[in-house]
Amino acid sequence: MRSIVECVPNFSNGRDPEVYGRIVDAISSVKGVQVLDVSADPDHNRTVVTYVGPPDEAVEAGYRAIAKAKELIDLDQHQGEHPRIGATDVFPFIPIKGVTMGDCVALAQQLGKRVGEGLGVAVYLYGAAATRPERESLAAIRKGQYELWRDEVATNPERTPDYGPAVPQKWGATVIGARPFLIAYNLYLNSNDVAIAEKVAKAVRFSSGGWRYVQAKGFLVEGQAQVSMNLTNFEKTPIHRVQEAVRREAAQYGLTVTHAELVGLIPQKALLDSAKWYLQLDDLPDEQVLELRLQSSPEQDGSDESEVVHMGRFAAMVADRTPTPGGGSVSALVGALGASLAQMSAELTVDRKKYAHVREEVQNILTEAEAIRHELIEAVNEDAASFEGILRVVRNKEMDEEAKAAAMEAATIHAGEVPLRVARLSRDAARLAKTMATIGNVNAATDAAVGAIMARAAVYGAELNVKVNGVGLKNRELAAAWAREVDALVEETEQLAAEAREIAEEHGGL
């Protein structure tokens, strides 16, 4: 499986294409790295670059970019609307494919050490890579911006960098870390009053009592008030809900949202979720969207056996002489098949007049089973990626012993949490399948029972993976908690599968 990491470095120049163009060229010079987006804002005097690549190449591109920014940008001469602390202000690693958050923490540490030692730039680790709780927040590290950092770094112990010298330099400091995908989203108001934009921002941002996973600040951009936001978890705080919150707050001042702006890239799911919400398509499955349906289908080769071939490829990958995909991925797939059978039974029941009395319950089961199926399919790759994350830490020769131990603990925790989630979801799939065997179309009762049995197998497989990862944990309390929970899940799913089989046998006269 090819590993892909995303990097979204922010550079403190958005007005001189010659400067930020040379930084982008430095990134592009690394083979295997692809620059996806360059967003320069002259008012903020800031350029956000989005690029992807394999982990090692992403680190090399980051090093070259930071070196070039150090050469070209003088923070003593810099002015702009956006807070900043360095020439390369912030540099996050984001897991995309075959890469875990633990891997990204290790990459942040690797790049931070190289930059600190090789370039003489003060480096602070933030987000998931933070070395102390107060440094998890970028805003906390950047408090007072470059000017206060310059005045305090040599004398204030709280400003001591994780890597590099505690010496004020004209290129400032760089904040490197690991985080989930972030959406940079700006809304413009029909006003030139920046004070109102700041009041709206204060109302919606989490730090002052607003929405969880929302960071916001008010700016004046080209004479128009702007509410600038970072959405750090679009699945838990969706973009459309934030937009409506800004709209309501602005209305209190007699204002409205005139237009929106994205900085960088946005996941397709965020847009689709918003489209479903605004169009009130609450029950729209992703497969009903043409492009997504085509993407989810195996490549057609003119043969009726193409889908069998597609599944055969996965079986061949499992059989290959590589550690991944292995038992964890197979457990997730088996759980997904269990959820699929529960969903199938619901599909064969929901619109039948004979079962009209349970239609609402079956519709809810259908929706829940589909969601579980999607999550378990995602876990197939995530489980493989989590194991590869452990291997990546083992093979890393650049981290010191303490950093390597911390990275290994983080990678092991993630590797145990994935199968634990698989066990929980598969238990839920078994519950739905058992219910469908009970109330659903009698002609699909055995299918539903097979779904519960598949879910039971998935839980058994996940149990082994949870416990084997627990053996390697230094946090013995967490390992014990994992074991207790997964034992309970095994017992519960065993009972559900047995009951589903008994019901199916009764319906079928077996």
Q: Give residue 374's identity as a one-letter amino acid code.
A: H
Is 403 in contact with 109 (CB distance < 8 Å)? Answer: yes
SS3 content of the chain, % helix, strand, coil (to 5): 60, 15, 25
What CATH code is carried by the domain that includes residue 137?
Answer: 3.30.990.10
Q: What is the CA 95 to chain-centroid distance, rounded?
A: 7
Contact assessment for residue 472 and residue 412, using Cβ atoms and an 8 Å cutoff = yes
Same domain, 502 and 413: yes
Question: Residue 386 pLDDT > 90, yes or no?
Answer: no
Percent of the chain topping pLDDT 90 = 68
Q: What is the pLDDT of residues 261-286, one digit of tens each?
A: 998 778 888 899 999 999 998 878 87
Smallest CA-to-CA distance from 187 within 167, 170, 203 is with 203
Structure tokens, 59: 């680190």
Q: Does 289 map to a domain?
A: no
**DSSP string covering 383-402:** HHHHHHHHHHHHH--SS-HH
Shared domain check, 217 and 336: no
**Dist. CA 329–CA 390, nearest whole Å:** 16
DSSP string covering 68-113, please? HHHHH--GGG---SS--SBSEEEEEEEEEES--HHHHHHHHHHHHH
Tens of pLDDT along 150-197? 999 999 999 999 999 999 999 999 999 998 888 989 999 999 999 999
Do 261 and 162 fall into the same domain? no
Calpha distance 435→324 (Å, rounded) = 34
What is the per-residue pLDDT across 431-440, written as a single tens digit (0 to 9) for each?
999 999 999 9
* Distance from the Cα of residue 115 to its chain's centroid: 26
> How far apart, in whole angstroms, are the C-alpha atoms of residue 151 and residue 141?
14
Check whether residue 214 and residue 195 sit in a common domain: yes
pLDDT tens, residue by residue, 397-421: 778 888 888 889 988 998 999 999 9
Nearest Cα to Cα of residue 88 among 59, 47, 56: 47
Cβ count near 154 (within 10 Å): 12
Structure confidence at residue 303 (pLDDT): 42
89 is catalytic: no
Rounded to 5 degrees, φ, ψ at 490 are -60, -50
Residue 222 burial (CB count, 10 A): 9
- pLDDT, one tens digit per residue, over 98-115 is 788 888 999 999 999 999
Question: Strand 173-178 relative to strand 88-97: parallel, antiparallel, unpaired?
Answer: parallel
pLDDT for res 2: 67
**Confidence grade of residue 308 (pLDDT, cut at 50, 70, 90):** very low
Task: Give the total number of structural domains in the chain.
Answer: 3
Do 268 and 239 share a structural domain? yes
What kind and span of H or E run contains 130? none
Residue 87: inside a domain:
yes
Looking at the fold, whether 131 and 187 belong to one and the same domain comes out as: no
Same domain assignment for residues 427 and 464: yes
Report the DSSP beta bridge partners of residue 226.
188, 219
Domain that holds residue 491: 308-508
139 lies in a domain? yes
467 assigned to some structural domain? yes
Q: How confident is the model at residue 486 (pLDDT cuts 50, 70, 90)?
A: very high
Catalytic residue of the set 89, 162, 383, 428: 383
Cβ atoms of 414 and 103 within 8 Å: the answer is no
pLDDT(467) > 90? yes
Neighbours of 123 (CB within 10 A): 27
pLDDT of residue 5: 93
Domain for residue 302, yes or no? no
3-state DSSP call for residue 280? coil
**Residue 335: how many CA atoms within 13 Å on its side-chain side?**
35
Give the SS3 label for residue 14.
coil
8 A C-beta contact, residue 188 and residue 261: yes
Angle, vertex CA 100, rays to CA 99 and CA 101, nearest 5: 130
Check if the beta carbon of residue 335 is closer than 8 Å to that of residue 465. Answer: no
268's CB contacts (< 8 A; 6+ apart) are none
Residue 376: give its domain's CATH number.
1.20.120.680
Tell me how crowded residue 44 is: count the other CB atoms within 10 A of its CB.
23
78 catalytically annotated = no
Instruction: List Cα–Cα distances, 149 to 122, 139, 143, 473, in angstroms.
Output: 11, 13, 8, 38
- Mean pLDDT, all residues of the chain: 90
What pLDDT, on the 0 to 100 scale, is given for residue 265?
78
Examine residue 325 and say whether the peptide bond preceding it is cis (omega within 30 degrees of 0).
yes
Interval 360-387 mean pLDDT: 89
Q: Same domain for 190 and 260?
A: yes
Cβ neighbours of residue 171 closer than 8 Å, sequence gap 6 or more: 69, 70, 73, 74, 75, 86, 87, 121
Residue 300 located in a structural domain:
no
**Predicted confidence band of residue 257 (pLDDT cuts 50, 70, 90):** very high
Higher pLDDT, 277 or 392: 277
CATH number at residue 190: 3.30.70.670
In a domain, 298, yes or no: no
pLDDT value at position 295?
64
Same domain, 390 and 479: yes
Q: How would you label 464-480 residue by residue, b for 16+ Cβ within 10 Å and e otherwise? A: ebbbebbeebeeeebbe
Q: Which of 179-183, 318-322, 477-481 has the lowest mean pLDDT?
A: 318-322
pLDDT higher than 60, residue 305: no
Which residue in the list 82, 162, 414, 507 is annotated as catalytic? 82
Segment of 232-236, 294-298, 450-454 carrying the highest mean pLDDT = 450-454
User: Which two three-digit tokens encode residue 2?
Assistant: 């090819």
Distance between CA atoms of residues 299 and 82, nearest Å: 46
Give yes or no: residues 267 and 198 share one domain.
Answer: yes
* 354 or 300, which is more confident: 354
Same-domain pairing of 435 and 490? yes
Q: What is the pLDDT of residue 317?
A: 81
| Cα 399 from Cα 107, distance rounded (Å) | 10
User: Would you place residue 291 in the very low, low, confident or very high pLDDT band (cuts 50, 70, 90)?
Assistant: confident
* 304 three-state secondary structure: coil
Asked if residue 89 and residue 234 are part of one domain, the reply reads no
Q: Name residue 122's amino acid.
A: A
Report the SS3 class of residue 44. coil
Cβ neighbour number for residue 314 with a 10 Å cutoff: 14
Kindly state whether residue 294 falls inside one of the protein's structural domains.
no
Last residue of a domain, one of 178, 206, 236: 178
Q: Per-residue confidence at 242, pLDDT binned at 50, 70, 90? A: very high
Q: Of the residues 129, 160, 178, which one is the last residue of a structural domain?
A: 178
Hey, which bits of 406-456 come out as E strands?
none
Whether the pLDDT of residue 300 is over 80: the answer is no
pLDDT at 49 > cutoff 90: yes
- Among 140, 163, 178, the domain boundary falls at 178
